[in-house]
Amino acid sequence: MMNGTAQQSSTVRGLYPQREEMRTIPRPSHMQPSLVRRAPTEEELGRIVSFDALSEQGKSHLAAIMAYENEGVVIRFAEDQEFSIETARQIFHGLKQYLAVCVFSGGKRTPAKIVDECWETFLLHSRDYAEFCEQYTRGFVHHEPAIDDSGFSFYPRTRQCVIALFGHIDEDVWPSEHKVYVRCVSTKTSEPSRFDDFLIK
Are 95 and 125 in contact by the 8 Å Cβ rule? The answer is: no
- Between residues 161 and 188, which one has the greater pLDDT? 161
Q: What is the pLDDT of residue 43?
A: 67
pLDDT digits (tens, 9 = 90+) for 135-178: 998 788 988 876 666 556 788 889 999 999 999 999 999 998 76
pLDDT digits (tens, 9 = 90+) for 105-145: 877 888 998 999 999 999 999 999 999 999 998 788 988 87
* Amino acid (1-letter code) at residue 180: V
Q: How far apart are CA 85 and CA 65, in angstroms?
A: 20
Q: What is the pLDDT of residue 189?
A: 56
- Between residues 199 and 164, which one has the greater pLDDT? 164
pTM listed for this prediction? 0.76
Give the CA diameter of the chain: 78
Per DSSP, the residues of 97-111 read HHHHHHHHH-S-B--
Are 98 and 108 in contact by the 8 Å Cβ rule? The answer is: no
In the Cβ-directed half-sphere of 80, how many Cα atoms lie within 13 Å?
Answer: 15
Please tell me what DSSP assigns to residue 184. Answer: E
pLDDT digits (tens, 9 = 90+) for 58-104: 999 999 999 999 999 999 999 999 999 999 999 999 999 999 998 88
Domain ranges of the chain: 45-194
**Sequence-ordered alpha helix ranges (H) in the chain:** 4-15, 19-23, 42-45, 56-67, 71-81, 85-105, 113-124, 126-132, 151-166
With cut-offs at 50, 70 and 90, classify the pLDDT of residue 9: very low
Q: What is the pLDDT of residue 118?
A: 97
